Amino acid sequence: MTMTAPPPGKKVNRIGLELQAYRGSKTTLCAGCGHNAISERVIDACYELGIDARQVLKLSGIGCSSKSPAYFLGNAHGFNSVHGRMPSVATGAMLANKTMLAIGVSGDGDTGAIGIGQFVHLMRRNLPLVYIIEDNGCYGLTKGQFSPTADVGSTLKNGVVNDLQPIDTCLMAIELGASFVARSFSGDKKQLLTLLKAALSHKGTAMIDVISPCVTFNDHEGSTKSYTYVKDHDEPVAEVNYVPHFEEITIEYEEGSTREVPLHDGSRLYLKKLDRDYDPTSKLNAVQVLHETSSRGEYATGLLYIEPDKRDFCSLLNLVDEPLAHLPLERTRPSRAVLDEIMDAQR
């Protein structure tokens, strides 16, 4: 990435870069695919926060969604892994260099079907990683079969009805120990951008399930993951605003209407009460709202659960401060004498 001064009159961020510097390759996804809108919001979030893309690791599995990292942050490191196996790659990469900022992109099939075992263990480990599920309720890349997040009663284009209970990835993540769990909609620019910025400021697993309609296979009447259905059934739990650590707070709220949530890097979230009094630090509250809304066929969106101070996986493992990947061999391989000592102790 070049850090030369921008031409006069060009809008740049706090590290002197234009929005353009955060783009990736031109998308090859279908025009109107929700996944494209999510890539745009990742670009906006990283630009607005002044993130150095060279410090970012982009990770994904297989699927249309998993192709997305190619379309943002062209200067970041990237690894497009195996179907459902991104969590193992992310875990290895972050243990090798915990100073990186990891952004993982998965699909509802990649996470909820073949990758469910990996997802479960990732959530309980609280690895520092922003984990985005681009959730369209189908396997877009293989021509639109139902995925495990398809709702009961949702139909395919040819009229086939889904009879199986869906997996709610947010409920699972909350139950398993993820410390930041949110749901959003690719069509809600403001909410998604705010949640992404908050997720990038969080130290631990920040899981965002983004409902992201597949315009080619799952955007018809009868689908509960279509643009029209999601727009009509979106139930935000609170209005969310984000103030980065490098900015003054300029938002004013009436006493009692807003809850402040401090984030790890000094940034803050302001959650403004809507219809209900929502406490995002309460697992019970989150689980109850998710069950209540889904029984009415609605999507609870926004920041559903947060535990800002939970220890992340790298701190739990007491890793040395320097990235393991940078340590010289003498500090990673025990000497012959140490190995002999261990062997003697076993005798």
Ligand X SMILES: Cc1ncc(C[n+]2csc(CCOP(=O)(O)OP(=O)(O)O)c2C)c(N)n1
Residue 215 lies near ligand SF4 (rule: CB under 6 A): yes
Q: Are 64 and 140 in contact (CB under 8 A)?
A: yes
Distance CA 235, CA 289 (A): 10
**Nearer of residues 64 and 122 to ligand X, judged by Cβ:** 64
**Nearer of residues 110 and 307 to ligand X, judged by Cβ:** 110
Residue 35 lies near ligand SF4 (rule: CB under 6 A): yes
Q: Are 53 and 1 in contact (CB under 8 A)?
A: yes
User: Of 282-311, which residues contact ligand X (CB under 6 A)?
Assistant: none
Strand ranges for 61-204 from DSSP E: 77-80, 101-107, 129-135, 138-139, 145-146, 180-185
Instruction: Work out the number of other CB atoms within 10 angstroms of the CB of residue 164.
Output: 10
**Nearer of residues 82 and 324 to ligand X, judged by Cβ:** 82
Q: Are 73 and 58 in contact (CB under 8 A)?
A: yes
Each residue 46-65 as x (binds ligand SF4 by CB under 6 A) or -, in order, gives ------------------x-
DSSP assignment of 196-244, as one string?
A: HHHHHT-SSEEEEEEE---TTTS-STT-TTSHHHHHHTEEESEEEEEE-
Residue 185 lies near ligand SF4 (rule: CB under 6 A): no
Q: Which amino acid would we find at residue 124?
A: R
The one-character DSSP state at 148 is: T
Residue 205 lies near ligand X (rule: CB under 6 A): no
Each residue 290-329 as x (binds Mg ion by CB under 5 A) or -, in order, gives ----------------------------------------
* Binding site partner of 30, from ligand X, ligand SF4, Mg ion, none, Cβ cut-off 5-8 A by kind: ligand SF4
- For tokens 């996944």, the residue is 35
Residue count, binding to ligand X (CB under 6 A):
18
Each residue 133-172 as x (binds Mg ion by CB under 5 A) or -, in order, gives ---x---x--------------------------------
| Min dist. Cβ of residue 104 to ligand X (A) | 13
